[in-house]
Amino acid sequence: MALVDRLASVEEQYERLLARLADPAVQAEPPAYRAAAKSAAEMQELVERYRELKTVEQHLGETRQLIDGGDPELADLAREELATLEARQDGLTKEIRRLLLPKDPSDEKNVMLEIRAGTGGEEAALFAADLFRMYQRFADRGGWRFELMSKSDADAGGLKEAIALIEGKQVYSRLKYESGVHRVQRVPATEASGRIHTSTATVAVLPEAEEVDVQVDPKDLRIDTFCSSGPGGQSVNTTYSAVRMTHIPTGIVVSQQDEKSQIKNRAKALKVLRTRLYELERQRQQEAIAKERRGQVGTGERAEKIRTYNIPQNRVTDHRINFTTHRLGEVLDGDLGELVDQVATHFHTEKLREVDEGEGVTPSHRV
């Protein structure tokens, strides 16, 4: 189906939905009314842009007629108007093609952020802590809620691993391309010769799974309790508040000991486990549907280096899009917006290219 035909079909569906919303019988059924209203709201922006595009194209046709009409004065005015109309046509076309992209059903979800020290020993642990603070500050800038779920400190400082729940509007949509291996290049404080060391940390951004997404059968769980370790007052090493939860069918193990209450630790462990099971199912589905999309979140390609933070050169480079910024200090302080937007734009462009190829559309035959 050509893009113009698709847009006409969406407009027709939108009109039918508006008619349903005006039907007293539908208004008397709240679930049906909510479903129709939600569908109409999802289509509204696309339909509005399509209608505006049709109006602009009509004006373009009239303007070209004036240019060819033989009146020199009107033709000059029409040429000035033509440039404005063509620019608006191009802008609307890009917006429409973006709106036609299939929506990721997880975009509106909260995320479970998991950061682990990689290769590099103590420096890797320190870098993992830097990344954790970076995302926490980015969440603060976005007005999101950042909740620490679990943390394992390294002996010499830094983090072995940390898990946090980030809640807010379109969190997964903004962070989903952050999964991968992040690399830092810097001179350690203990390096007397000034030699630059390279260390890594892994970042996983998983859409939070709710109970409706993943049902966990209690019979599939083995729950062990043990004494907490680390700072925490009198309850540490005296009460069995820490929880180790094993999902027997998959072998996934989650440990939780940050809370003094065993009940709270169980609840947190179950939330992390449910998210990992949801991500596992997403992996299976994505691999079955499109092997070529393994570079996306949740497709098993987290071993690929995606970004380098070069401290001596004050440089951050995202290798997926060959984008470099010399604002490393600001980035590590949570000013990630530019990087996140550049990566998202790249992947949106790739998806648009897939849509064009699937529709048989070339740059000169778009909407």
- Provide the number of structural domains found in the chain: 3
pLDDT in tens, the chain (367 residues): 567 888 899 999 999 999 999 999 999 998 889 889 988 988 898 999 999 999 999 999 989 988 887 778 888 888 888 889 999 998 898 888 878 877 777 888 899 899 999 988 889 999 999 999 999 999 999 999 999 988 889 887 899 999 999 999 889 989 999 999 999 999 887 676 778 889 999 999 988 876 556 778 888 888 888 876 655 444 444 567 788 889 888 888 888 887 778 888 888 888 888 888 888 877 776 665 444 333 433 333 334 689 999 999 999 999 999 999 999 999 999 999 999 989 988 888 887 776 666 554 433 333 3
Q: Domain containing 254 — which CATH number?
A: 3.30.160.20
DSSP at 164 = E
Confirm whether 289 is domain-assigned.
no
Domain boundary among 58, 79, 100: 100
First CA to last CA distance, the chain: 12
On whether both 183 and 314 belong to a single domain, the answer is yes
Contact 248, 261 (CB under 8 A): no
Question: What's residue 210's pLDDT?
Answer: 67
Residues 84 and 141 in one domain: no
Within a domain: 30: yes
| 91 in the same domain as 63 | yes
Query: pTM, whole model, 2 decimals?
Result: 0.63
Tell me what pLDDT residue 192 has: 63
Flag whether 314 is in a domain: yes
> Does any domain span residue 183?
yes
194 in the same domain as 144: yes
Residue 353 in any domain: the answer is: no
> What is the pLDDT at residue 222?
86
Whole-angstrom distance, CA of residue 28 vs CA of residue 334: 48
Q: Are 110 and 139 in contact (CB under 8 A)?
A: no
- Are residues 314 and 190 part of one domain? yes
Tell me if 367 is assigned to some domain: no
Report the pLDDT value the prediction gives residue 189, as an integer from 0 to 100: 72
Residue 299 in any domain: the answer is no
Q: Which residues are within 8 A (CB) of 128 and not within 5 positions of it... i.e. 6 or more apart?
A: 115, 116, 117, 118, 158, 159, 160, 161, 162, 201
Residue 129 and residue 85 share a domain: no
Tokens at 237, concatenated: 């090493």
Instruction: Clarify whether residues 81 and 28 are in a common domain.
Output: yes
336 shares a domain with 201: yes
CATH number, position 145: 3.30.70.1660
35 and 7 share one domain: yes
> Which tokens sit at 32?
């049906």
**Enclosing domain of residue 223:** 218-284
Which pLDDT score is estimated for 178? Answer: 94
pLDDT for position 318? 95
Residue 290 lies in a domain: no
Whether residues 7 and 91 share a domain: the answer is yes
Residue 308 and residue 204 share a domain: yes
pLDDT computed for residue 144 by the predictor: 95
Same-domain check for residues 240 and 323:
no
pLDDT of residue 312: 92
